[in-house]
Amino acid sequence: MLSADVGLDLGTASVIIYVRGRGIVLQEPSVVAIDEERQQVLAIGQAARDMLGRTPGPIAAIRPLRNGVVAHYQVTELMLRYFLRKALGGWHLSRPRLVACVPSAVTDVERRAVAEACRQAGAREVHLISEPMAAAIGAGLDVEEPVGNMVVDVGGGTTDVAVISLGSEVVADSVRVAGDSMDEAVVRHLKRQHNLVIGERSAEDLKIELGTVDPEGAVDVPPREVRGRDAVTGLPRTQQVEAEEIRAALMEPAMSIVDAVRRVLERTPPELAADIYERGVVMTGGGALLRGLDRLLSQQTGLPVQLADDPITCVARGTGKVLDLLQRNRRVATTPAQRVV
């Protein structure tokens, strides 16, 4: 029977699916809309994301994955089943073999939850790989060589930092500060400074259009009008927002990411640290696209920092390469790292 090998980037913000021989075939938000009164799924993916903040009482648009792990098991299973069917269609006739990624610092219980959700969604065989390892492989780093490679994967729910050598993570850290935290920082800033309440989609749009953490200052763009609800009167209104104030709001989560990188560097063996000083740091993930984050990290650590090609899909492409060399890379997918305390 025909079968498929599938690589899965199971992210807090989006799910990306790679099918061996076909490349990336699906990239959709990891959001599910549910009618809680009827216990019925109304929409999954982009259609559900369009409902965020706009649903009536009995309908909830939720993210079943939080901080890179399963928060709502049954909803996650339904979402994965839907995405796998959409990605594979009628192309396969048997249950696929699947490589899925998880954050570095997940517990054994959280690992089992991800693996079981994948099996219940239709996978016959599940292999788990840490996100920074998958990101490093997807970015083209030679992780099996006896040299130090440092990767910083800034996702939606978590930022994973790892030093990799000889096919294993030597030192790793995972912090629950990433793209979503940046959106929340924008929401808090506007409420505190302007008494304006906005939703997470509006905050994300502001971050993309005006956001920067460049040490040299804010981007040279005109102010942007944002619509929301007045926290005092409860009435709708608009507010002009400057790029500099969005920069100020984003600096706190950005510095938390820098601190995570410093903690990993402090625990890195000297020989590998020397390699990193020479080879630099590679950034992946959608959050790495924030303007100036690479320059801020370089300024704060004194290391060269570069953004990977197509950083959003690095993890998914890494799972695809593991699929291509599954037998050889099985140890890479399961070897634990020394955690930063």
Give the integer Cα–Cα distance in Å for 208 and 152.
20
Q: Is 158 annotated as a binding residue?
A: yes
Q: Is 243 annotated as a binding residue?
A: no
Q: Is 5 annotated as a binding residue?
A: no
Contact assessment for residue 69 and residue 113, using Cβ atoms and an 8 Å cutoff: yes
Q: Is 289 annotated as a binding residue?
A: yes
Tokens of 215: 């040490």
Q: Is 324 annotated as a binding residue?
A: no
Report the candidate in 167, 212, 186, 204 with the shortest Cα–Cα distance to residue 334: 167
Parallel, antiparallel or unpaired: strands 224-230 and 338-339: unpaired
Report the candidate in 252, 63, 256 with the shortest Cα–Cα distance to residue 173: 256
Which 3-state string (H, E, C) describes the chain? CCCCEEEEEECCCEEEEEECCCEEEEEEECCEEEECCCCEEEEECHHHHCCCCCCCCCEEEECCEECCEECCHHHHHHHHHHHHHHHHCCCCCCCCEEEEEECCCCCHHHHHHHHHHHHHCCCCEEEEEEHHHHHHHHCCCCCCCCCCEEEEEECCCCEEEEEEECCEEEEEEEECCCHHHHHHHHHHHHHHHHCEECCHHHHHHHHHHHCECCCCCCCCCCCEEEEEEECCCCCEEEEEECHHHHHHHHHHHHHHHHHHHHHHHHHCCHHHHHHHHHHCEEEECHHHHCECHHHHHHHHHCCCEEECCCHHHHHHHHHHHHHHCHHHHHHHHHCCCEECC
Q: Is 156 annotated as a binding residue?
A: yes
Q: Is 52 annotated as a binding residue?
A: no
Which residues are part of a known binding site for ATP?
156-158, 204-207, 286-289
Which residues are part of a known binding site?
156-158, 204-207, 286-289
